[in-house]
Amino acid sequence: LLRSQLDEETAHEYDLTLVMNACMVLFMQSGFALLEAGAVRAKNVTNILIKNLLDACVGALVYWACGFAFAFGKVAVKDYKTGEYSGYSSANQFIGHKHFFLSYPDYKSPSIENYPVRVFHGGSFYGEFFFNFVFAATATTIISGALAERVEFGAYLVYGVIASGFIQPVTVHWAWSNGWLVYPPESLKLPPAVWYRDYAGGGNVHAVGGIAALVSCIFIGPRLGRFSPKTGRKFHIPGHSTPLTCLGAFILFIGFLSMVLGHGQSVAQGVTNLTLGGSASGLTSMMIVNLEPKVKDWWKYTVKKANRSRVIKPRTYWSFLVLVDATLAGMVSMCAGCDVLEPWGAVIIGVIVGFAFHYVEHTLVHHKVDDPVGSVAVHLVGGVIGVLLAPVFAKKEHEYSWIHWKGCDYDCVSDNANSTCLYTTSFAGDASEGKRALHPSWSDGDCLHTPFYQFAWQLLGIISILAWTIVCSIPLFFVLWKLRVLRVDADTEVRGIDIAYHGEPAYPLAAQGHGWDNEGEF
C-alpha cells in the first residue's frame, strides 16, 4: 500500500517537474522572439514577434491535432480483455498514428515488462503531450529566424504547420518514441548497448530546425542589400537592438537548462555540462573574432574620417553578438549528451563548436546564404556535433564511451559471468534491464566494439534525420517559391513588413517622445 503511494507520489512529482520545466521551455519562444527581434531592423520587428507567437499558438493546435499522434501514437498495445499493456507495437517504426486530437488518453508510459526502456516517458498523457509540444514549437521557431525580414506571412503559416505537425514529429518518433533509431533492427547485430541517444533534442529538435532553416534560406535568397549583385560585396545589416537580443539569449539559456531539467534525471550533471560547454564555445568564438584582423568596422561610414583616425584606437573587437550566438551553439551541442558527458569533455566539445560555428558562419556568407539570426550556424552545427561527440566523451560508467573504452577483452561476448567481458550471454533475453538479447549468431569472445558502433549509429541517426528533413523541406519550399508566395515583394521588403502586413509598427512615431521638450506652448 505504502509502496504504491510512494510510486504514485513519485509519478506525480515527475509529472510536475516535467510540466514546470516544459513551461520554461515554452518561455524559450519569447527568447527566440526577442533574440530575433533584436537582430532585425525596426521595420520588421512586429512581423518577427507575431511569427514567434504564432509558432506557439498554431503549434499547439497542430500538435494537438496530429503532431503528437505522429510522434508518440500507438506506443503501447493494450490488451482490451485484461486492460493491461502486453507489448508494444513494432508494426510501425517510422511514424505513429494514434491519439489524434488527444483522443484515447489511455496512454501509459512504456515501462512494461519485456520491453526495454530506452527513452524514459514517465509523465502523464497530457504531460508528455505538453512537454513534446514545446520542443516541436522550438524546432519551427528556428526556421522563422532564418527567413526573417522577407518571408510572406502565408508561406510562414504553411511551413509552420507542416514542420511542427509532421516533419519534426516523425523524427521524434524515430529518436524518442519507439522508432527504428531507438530500437535498431535485430538484423544489424548491433551491440546491446547501442541505440540512438539524444537526451534533449540535439538532433530531432535543433538539427531538424537548423537544416530546414538552411534549405529555406537557400530557396528564399538573401535580403535585398545584403550582397551587392554587381560587385559581390557584402554588407552587414545590423539588428536594431542589442538589449533585446541579450535578454532573448538569456531566456534561451534558461530554456536550455529547463530542457535538461524536464526529464528530471541527471539534472545536476546536465546543467553543469550545458553551462561549461556553452561558455567554452562562446569564449572560443569571441576570441577568434577578436584575434582576427579582418573584422570590418561596418559602422565607420557614419563617422567622419577625421574623428575615426584620431579617436578609435582598438582595432579588434569583442563581439557581443558572436559571444551570444556561439554560446547558444555550445549549449545546443550539449543537448544530445549533457547527461553523460565528462565536464572536461563538455569544455572540449564547446571549443570545437566555437571553431565550427565561426567557420560555418563565414562559409554561409561566402556562399551568399543570408541567415539573419544565425539559425543554421547555431542549431545545425551545434546539433550535429553534439549528437556525434556525445558518446565519444561520455563518462566511464557508460559502456559506449569512446575515451573510456577498455578494449576487446572487456567489451565482448561471454558465457561466463565472471569474465572481464561486459556482456555475458546470461543477459540474453533479460530485457528488463534495458539490454537487448545478444545476437544469436555471436559466439563467445566476439569483440563488440560498442563505442564505435555507437558512434556509427549516432552518425547514421543524424544523417537520417537530416536527410528526412531535407527530403520534406525541399518540395515544400520549392512549391512555395514556384508559386511566388514565399517572399514578400521588393517594395514591402525595402520599406518594412510591419506596416504593410500588420498595420502595427514596432515603435510608432506618434507614441515616442517624453512630451516636455516642445518649444513654446503646446
Regarding 494 and contact with a second copy (CB under 8 A), the answer is yes
Regarding 458 and contact with a second copy (CB under 8 A), the answer is no
Give the one residue of 217, 324, 341, 380 binding a second copy; rule: CB under 8 A.
324
Name the residue type at position 58.
V
Tell me which residues in 43-102 interact with a second copy (CB under 8 A).
Answer: 43, 45-46, 49-50, 52-54, 56-58, 60-61, 64, 101-102
Angle at 93 (CA atoms; ends 89, 97), nearest 5 degrees: 70
Of 29-37, 182-190, 202-210, 410-418: span binding a second copy (CB under 8 A): 29-37
Give the one residue of 138, 279, 401, 469 binding a second copy; rule: CB under 8 A.
279
Of 278-286, 362-370, 400-408, 472-480: span binding a second copy (CB under 8 A): 278-286
Regarding 365 and contact with a second copy (CB under 8 A), the answer is no
Give the one residue of 87, 292, 303, 406 binding a second copy; rule: CB under 8 A.
303
Whether 496 and 504 have beta carbons less than 8 Å apart is answered as: no
* For a second copy, the closer CB: 12 or 362: 12
Instruction: Show the binding pattern over residues 496-515: x = contacts a second copy (CB under 8 A), - = does not.
Output: x-xxxxxxxxxxxxxxxxxx
Of 91-99, 187-195, 263-271, 400-408: span binding a second copy (CB under 8 A): 263-271
For residue 182, how many C-alpha atoms fall within 13 Å in the half-sphere facing its CB? 26
Regarding 247 and contact with a second copy (CB under 8 A), the answer is yes
Pick from 193, 196, 188, 195: nearest CA to 441: 188
Give me the long-range contacts of 121-127 (CB less than 8 A, separation at least 24). 121/72, 121/75, 122/11, 122/14, 122/15, 122/18, 122/263, 122/264, 123/14, 123/15, 123/18, 123/19, 124/11, 124/15, 126/102, 127/15, 127/18, 127/19, 127/22
Q: Which residues are within 8 A (CB) of 320 and not within 5 positions of it... i.e. 6 or more apart?
A: 242, 246
Regarding 288 and contact with a second copy (CB under 8 A), the answer is no
* For a second copy, the closer CB: 117 or 460: 117
> What is the C-alpha to C-alpha distance for residues 147 and 496, in angstroms, rounded to an integer?
14
Give the one residue of 312, 459, 470, 483 binding a second copy; rule: CB under 8 A.
312
Give the cell for residue 35: 533574440
* For a second copy, the closer CB: 261 or 392: 261
Give the one residue of 172, 194, 218, 257 binding a second copy; rule: CB under 8 A.
257
Using left for φ > 0, alpha for ψ between -120 and 50, and beta otherwise, residue 413 falls in: beta
Regarding 146 and contact with a second copy (CB under 8 A), the answer is no
Regarding 381 and contact with a second copy (CB under 8 A), the answer is no
Give the one residue of 306, 366, 433, 441 binding a second copy; rule: CB under 8 A.
306
> What is the C-alpha to C-alpha distance for residues 403 and 216, in angstroms, rounded to an integer?
38
Regarding 238 and contact with a second copy (CB under 8 A), the answer is yes
For residue 449, the minimal CB distance to a second copy (Å) is 28
Q: What is the DSSP letter of 76?
A: E
Regarding 343 and contact with a second copy (CB under 8 A), the answer is yes
Regarding 272 and contact with a second copy (CB under 8 A), the answer is yes
**10 φ/ψ angles, rounded to the nearest 5 degrees:** -60, -45
* For a second copy, the closer CB: 464 or 492: 492
**Cα 395 from chain centre:** 23
Give the one residue of 67, 122, 282, 383 binding a second copy; rule: CB under 8 A.
282
Give the one residue of 294, 305, 310, 366 binding a second copy; rule: CB under 8 A.
310
For residue 66, the minimal CB distance to a second copy (Å) is 14
CA dihedral for 58, 59, 62, 65, sign (positive or negative): negative
CA distance to 141, 311, 482, 491, per residue, from 487 (Å): 18, 43, 11, 11
Exposure of 207 by Cβ count < 10 A (0-12 exposed, 13-18 middle, 19+ buried)? buried
Using left for φ > 0, alpha for ψ between -120 and 50, and beta otherwise, residue 123 falls in: beta
Give the one residue of 111, 318, 363, 426 binding a second copy; rule: CB under 8 A.
318
Regarding 434 and contact with a second copy (CB under 8 A), the answer is no
Give the one residue of 147, 170, 244, 448 binding a second copy; rule: CB under 8 A.
244
Go through the chain and tell me how many residues it has: 522
* For a second copy, the closer CB: 47 or 454: 47
Give the one residue of 74, 159, 199, 267 binding a second copy; rule: CB under 8 A.
267
* For a second copy, the closer CB: 79 or 489: 489
Instruction: Assign 317 to helix, strand or coil.
Output: coil
Of 72-80, 171-179, 309-317, 370-378: span binding a second copy (CB under 8 A): 309-317
For residue 478, how many C-alpha atoms fall within 13 Å in the half-sphere facing its CB? 6
